């Protein structure tokens, strides 16, 4: 069975690779050189906006499943560069969804809890998304594309992803926070943003599981702890033995020059706990897992 991962040099993709090793023939697409340098990965350097080369690659590999992690995910960058964000998050997803439909490949699309406006919290898969920034708008458009393309496709809405890189580097807020705490640098975390963080190890396992099972539709991949980001950072600092005085409380919507943020985008993971063998964990369980996980 062949698995194709987009954005293969990224944080989430590293965990996907680790869980797919030995179970799938793994192909990965990245724009730069192979940063992971991982054995067992067949690497393809490619700009996903090059539709002709992308189609040639799909027809060459003929993947059984595609996990689409690649995205322009910085909310403020998307707000300031909307044409670029539309291309990266919507147009590329459309191309991939069409190719998957043509080849009969199952598509697992990584969406986000940011598709919700944050006025309610405890969102279920049946709740209607409502964007408060342009990044969310692009993800909502992409979700619709993926769901229309095939009933076997999956829209996986990811909560805030916590953890250390499993393979490669990626963009880990935990690694960045630890680095600053070790140097005695204070770190700001928004008290107004409530999330249900999921550790990257659990997330990688869940995504690979869905690549090989029969589930199709929307699913919320989130942890079992509902907490604001400031309190989460305090828990992390306590667990790792750093001074909690270095964790500073901020309001992300009071900061100038930033796109609006949703306040409470906590997600209900009842469906994930029902249909997946991969267990959804609490914050403390997930932190322990990511700190000690070995491939």
Model pLDDT for residues 194-237, shown as the tens digit of each residue: 999 999 999 999 999 999 999 999 999 999 999 999 999 999 99
pLDDT at 35: 62
- For 168, the token pair is 């490669």
* Distance separating alpha carbons of residues 229 and 226, to the nearest angstrom: 10
**Measured distance CA(49)–CA(225) in Å, rounded:** 37
Ranges in the chain, pLDDT < 50: none
HSE (CB half, 13 Å, CA atoms) of 205? Answer: 18
Helices (H) and strands (E) in the chain, counts: 11, 13
Instruction: Provide φ and ψ at 94, rounded to 5°.
Output: -60, -45
Contact (Cβ atoms closer than 8 angstroms) between residue 222 and residue 122:
no
DSSP string, 60-76: HH--SEEEE------HH
Furthest-apart CA atoms within the chain: distance in Å = 55
Task: Parse the chain into domains and list their residue ranges.
Answer: 2-163+193-226+262-292
Q: Do the beta carbons of residue 90 and residue 141 sit within 8 Å?
A: yes
Residue corresponding to tokens 């270095």: 246
Residue 70 Cα to chain centre, angstroms: 9
For 237, the token pair is 């600092």
CA atoms of 194 and 172, how far apart (whole Å): 19
Please give the model's pTM, rounded to 2 decimal places. Answer: 0.96
- How confident is the model at residue 37, as a pLDDT? 64
CATH of domain 2-163+193-226+262-292: 3.40.50.720
């Amino acid at each position: 069975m062949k698995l194709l991962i987009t954005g293969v040099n990224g944080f989430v993709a590293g965990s996907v690779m680790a869980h797919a090793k030995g179970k799938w023939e793994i192909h990965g697409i990245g724009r730069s050189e192979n940063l992971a340098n991982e054995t067992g990965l067949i690497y393809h350097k490619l700009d996903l906006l090059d539709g002709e080369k992308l189609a040639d690659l799909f027809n060459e590999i003929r993947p059984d499943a595609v996990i689409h992690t690649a995205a322009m995910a910085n909310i403020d960058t998307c707000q300031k560069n909307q044409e670029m964000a539309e291309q990266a998050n919507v147009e590329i997803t459309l191309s991939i969804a069409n190719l998957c439909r043509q080849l009969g490949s199952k598509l697992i699309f990584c969406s986000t809890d940011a598709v919700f406006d944050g006025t309610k919290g405890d969102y279920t898969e049946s709740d209607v998304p409502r964007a408060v920034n342009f990044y969310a708008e692009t993800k909502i458009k992409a979700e619709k594309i993926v769901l229309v393309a095939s009933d076997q496709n999956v829209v996986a809405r990811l909560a805030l992803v916590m953890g250390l890189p499993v393979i490669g580097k990626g963009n880990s807020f935990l690694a960045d926070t630890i680095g600053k705490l070790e140097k005695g640098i204070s770190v700001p975390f928004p008290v107004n943003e409530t999330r249900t963080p999921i550790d990257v190890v659990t997330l990688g396992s869940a995504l690979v599981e869905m690549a090989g099972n029969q589930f199709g539709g929307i699913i919320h991949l989130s942890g079992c702890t509902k907490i604001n980001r400031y309190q989460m950072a305090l828990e992390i600092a306590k667990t790792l033995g750093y001074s909690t005085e270095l964790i500073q409380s901020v309001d992300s919507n009071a900061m100038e020059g930033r796109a609006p943020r949703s306040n409470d985008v906590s997600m209900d993971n009842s469906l994930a706990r029902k249909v997946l063998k991969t267990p959804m964990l609490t914050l403390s369980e997930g932190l322990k897992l990511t700190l000690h996980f070995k491939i």
